[in-house]
């Protein structure tokens, strides 16, 4: 077996699902949907391992497990089952700092937004 394929021998669908459950149930469900969307679960390993690497990198950058779980929830709702799609989600949604709730702040804040004060709802 080629050396680039040997690293996949140590992974199984169960091991990938367990890693996802360490984050939360939506992450594990994302991995299950990825593997179910392929003709053979093993074909989804590379995608799942890519997402695991992304999540680990973003955890090192200070992203919480709750934030990564929300990313998995958004990915599931939009049927994003590719590493590049998950990467775009991670880049476009930033965690709100100094807040106890795991909310996401979309990058849609710009000068054209009027806000509540414009409509007299403040």
- 24 in a domain, yes or no? yes
Segments forming the whole domain that contains residue 45: 11-119
Whole-structure pTM value: 0.68
Dist CA 51 CA 115 (whole Å): 36
Q: What is the pLDDT of residues 15-44, one digit of tens each?
A: 888 888 888 888 999 999 998 998 887 788
- 1 in a domain, yes or no? no
The number of residues in the chain equals 122
Number of separate domains in the chain: 1
- 6 in a domain, yes or no? no
Q: What is the pLDDT of residues 70-121, one digit of tens each?
A: 999 999 999 999 999 999 998 887 665 544 444 444 444 555 666 666 666 5
- 32 in a domain, yes or no? yes
Dist CA 62 CA 105 (whole Å): 15
- 108 in a domain, yes or no? yes
Angle between helices 65-78 and 13-23 (to 10 degrees): 120
């Amino acid at each position: 077996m080629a050396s680039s394929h040997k690293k996949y021998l140590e992974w199984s669908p169960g091991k990938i699902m367990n890693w996802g459950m360490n984050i939360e149930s939506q992450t594990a469900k994302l991995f299950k949907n990825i593997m179910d969307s392929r003709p053979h679960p093993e074909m989804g390993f590379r995608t799942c391992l890519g997402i695991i690497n992304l999540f680990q990198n973003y955890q090192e950058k200070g992203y919480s497990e709750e934030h990564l779980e929300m990313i998995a929830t958004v990915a599931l709702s939009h049927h994003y089952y590719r590493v590049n799609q998950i990467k775009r989600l991670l880049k476009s949604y930033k965690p709100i700092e100094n807040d106890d709730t795991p909310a996401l702040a979309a990058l849609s804040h710009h000068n054209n937004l009027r806000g509540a004060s414009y409509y007299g709802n403040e």
